Structure formats: C-alpha cells, structure tokens
Structure 1
C-alpha cells in the first residue's frame, strides 16, 4: 500500500522552503512562549497544562494538521498535476494511504516534538503533563491529517474550511459549547492524555472508550471517502 515514490514527492511538496517556514512558525512560537513563562513563573504544573492545552493542542496541532493534510494532495488537484500521478501504475488506495502516512508524519514531527520540548521546559514533565500532551498531539495528528487530507480532495478551499474547523469549531465552540465538545478531535485526544496523566490537570469531556472509537471512525471514514473522491476524479479525467 505504501509507495516510496509518492511519499518522496509528497514530502518534497510539503517541506518546500515556504511551507516549511509556515510549519515551523508555531512550534518556534510555542518554545519561545514556554521559555518566557518558565522564566517569569518558574516550574508550575497547572501553568504547563494551561499552555500546552490552550496553545499547543488547541491551536498549533490542528493548524499544522491543516497545512500538512491539505498540502499533501490539495495543490496537486488544484493545478491538475494529480492527473500525471494517477496515470502512473500506482493503485489509487496506495496514493491516498501514502499521502496520509506522510501527512501524519509531518504533523507529528512539527506538533508532538515541540509539545514535548515545551512541556519539559515548563515543568520538567511534572505529573506527566509533558508526556500526556505529547501523546494527545500524536493521537490528534492522525485524525487531523485524515480529515484535512479528505478536505483537500473535495474542495479547492480546503485550507479555509480547515482553519475554520480548527480555530472556530475546535478552539471556540469546542471550549465554550458543551455539546460541541463531544465532536471535537481535541477532546478525544485529551481523553487519551487524561489516561496517561491521571489526576486533575488533564481532563476531557469525552470518555476514553468513546474517544478511541470516534478517533478510529473519523480517521478510517475520512481516508475511505478521500479514496472514493480520488477514484471519481480519475474517472472524470479519463472521460
């Protein structure tokens, strides 16, 4: 299923000079904020949880997921170059699966790694806060990459819709409207983090079994629909 050539081309597209700068901006900002907070307030478990939950998981991870997920396939569809890729002897499911793996890997590297570093800076992993939020970032990266890859196959405005979801639904409604929290990747990831950390510093409004089921369902469903969309796109091009 995994195609090295497709992966290499996708990595090259995602990690080009301009997109790499964009991907690296939020992690750098997180590290700077963490250094400043540690300098002013010292090591504090609650402050660490607030920074990692309020900025890293609520903003940085979904935005990076938008950039990586939509960028893995969206530009190729927009400029028509996907036709050349689809004309190669590569199965369509392999194309989607490979691009998903690349998007997940890029999202994880640019979100989970700086989350761990920031957590260690803030409180040295006191009460497992750094590790818990790193696990949450890893888990969320998978679902975000799948959802935003799917968006990249269905609309030319995938980045806009992705940012609306990430910054309006996840960050705003997901934190203010109780019912919306159940339909939030952030809350699902927090449920996993809560299990890792224990205690009261990391909490979620969604139970762990429900969170795991929803994460798996959304990831699988988005990947399947992306494959179906790519298949219809191919048929339309051949006609």
Structure 2
C-alpha cells in the first residue's frame, strides 16, 4: 500500500461534492430506521426489510458505486492519472491501494451506519444488527472491487454501475430466482444468515457458495483492474 496514493485517493473521495453525497446514504438509512423504530407492528420483519432490502440491497451498492468508481474513474476521465502512472510504482500497487481506501470508505459510510440502524430498530435481539453489519462488510468489499474495475475499463462506469446496482441487484436479483446466485446482495445475505440467530434471516445462496464467490469477485476484479491499468500505461508510452 502506497501512503501517497492512499492520501490522494481519500482526498478525492471526501471532496466537497462527493463527500456530501456519501453522507446522504447513511443519513437516509438512519433516518428511516429512527422513524421506523417508533412504529407498531412486527419489528423483526421491519428490521429485515429495512436493513436487507433498503440497506444491503439498495443503499450499499449505490454507495459502493460512488466510492469504487470515484477512487479512479475521475482521474482517468480528466487525464490526471498520467501523473500517477509516471511514478515508478507497480500498477497492481496503485490498484490495491485505491481498493483498500475504497473498501475502508465503504465500510465507514455503510457498515457502521448499518450497525447503528440495526440497534435502533431491533437492539441486539437475534443478532440482526451484527449480522447485517458483517454482510455489509463482505459485500461492501466485493462492490468496491467490482466498481473500481468498472472505473478502469469504461468511461461510462457510473451508468454501467447504476444499471447493475439498480436493475440487477435491486430488481432482477430480488424477483428472479435464478439470478440470485449471481447477486452480491444474496451472497452478503448468506453471510448474515450464518451470523444471526437460526431462522431470523433467509438467504437463497448457501454459505459454501457465497464465500468463494465473494472472494472470487474481489480478487478477479482487482487483477483485471491491474492488468487494464498496465495497458493504459503502455498506451500512454506508445
């Protein structure tokens, strides 16, 4: 991990406009949770819907998109990536450093608020708050790697990422049974199911499949992003 690259990446992610956008996601989740905490009805089902569908299924991928693409796509678009590539740094180190910053930022703005939202809604009962927090940690890492890759391979990373996050994850992944196997959200839910009390969370993907898939997406996306960035270097040199 390169400290200079990490510092510059973090500064870019927490700039005025993007920083405000990052605050909207946890603020919305906490606001909805605070309002729902005083509502009557089945608190278990309400917690599962808010943390699972809203938090894990919608807000987390959107935040991962903002952070993952923002970690590198802006530099590629405005051409400032050339200055970074001119440094004697291995391209994989640039990518892994940016990914580490992206994952840490996603965890700070998604996993931590997820924990507080769960505690507001349901306290420590059945381990739901902790379970969804762990799910946000593992899914957030996968989203960060996936969207970082998009930021390297296409200039339309935000559009492509929104299509994935909103269409595939939020719509197709929730309503088409076969597509759930290829859903980061479902992989995260599988991890949450293993952490929470038995029967309190239901996932459509087994833990034995979810964990390898989460690892595979994270590693493969990181490797492909490194290879693509090396290609950009060669193109610039030519």
Could you state the TM-score of these two structures normalised by the residue count of structure 2? 0.98
- CA deviation after TM superposition for structure 1 residue 125, in Å: 2.3
Q: Does 1:23 align with 2:22?
A: yes
Provide the rounded CA distance (Å) in 2 between the counterparts of 1:208 and 1:64. Answer: 24
- CA deviations on 1:43-62 (whole Å, 9 max, x unpaired) are 82221111101100001110
Provide the rounded CA distance (Å) in 1 between the counterparts of 2:211 and 2:39. Answer: 37
Tell me the residue number matched to 2:133: 134
Structure 1: 5+ residue stretches without partners:
none
Partners of 1:181 and 1:205 within 8 A in 2: yes
1:148-227 equivalent positions in 2, closer than 5 A: 148-227=147-226
Provide the rounded CA distance (Å) in 2 between the counterparts of 1:176 and 1:155. Answer: 28
- CA deviation after TM superposition for structure 1 residue 42, in Å: 7.2
Provide the rounded CA distance (Å) in 1 between the counterparts of 2:170 and 2:25. Answer: 16
Tell me the residue number matched to 1:51: 50
- CA deviation after TM superposition for structure 1 residue 41, in Å: 2.3
State the secondary structure of the residue aligned to 2:187.
helix
- CA deviations on 1:67-96 (whole Å, 9 max, x unpaired) are 000000000000110000010121111100
Provide the rounded CA distance (Å) in 2 between the counterparts of 1:128 and 1:190. Answer: 13
Provide the rounded CA distance (Å) in 2 between the counterparts of 1:51 and 1:216. Answer: 26
Provide the rounded CA distance (Å) in 2 between the counterparts of 1:196 and 1:90. Answer: 40
Provide the rounded CA distance (Å) in 1 between the counterparts of 2:23 and 2:168. Answer: 23
- CA deviation after TM superposition for structure 1 residue 157, in Å: 0.8
Provide the rounded CA distance (Å) in 1 between the counterparts of 2:166 and 2:127. Answer: 27
Tell me the residue number matched to 1:82: 81
Provide the rounded CA distance (Å) in 2 between the counterparts of 1:136 and 1:152. Answer: 24
Provide the rounded CA distance (Å) in 2 between the counterparts of 1:139 and 1:195. Answer: 13
State the secondary structure of the residue aligned to 2:199.
coil
- CA deviations on 1:181-225 (whole Å, 9 max, x unpaired) are 000000011111100003222111111011011111111100000
Runs of 4+ in 1 over 3 A off after TM superposition: none
Structure 2: 5+ residue stretches without partners:
none
1:69-108 equivalent positions in 2, closer than 5 A: 69-108=68-107
Partners of 1:48 and 1:122 within 8 A in 2: yes
Q: How many residues were matched structurally?
A: 238
Larger mean Cα displacement after TM superposition, 6-15 or 20-29: 20-29
State the secondary structure of the residue aligned to 2:182.
coil
Partners of 1:45 and 1:127 within 8 A in 2: no
Q: Does 1:144 align with 2:143?
A: yes
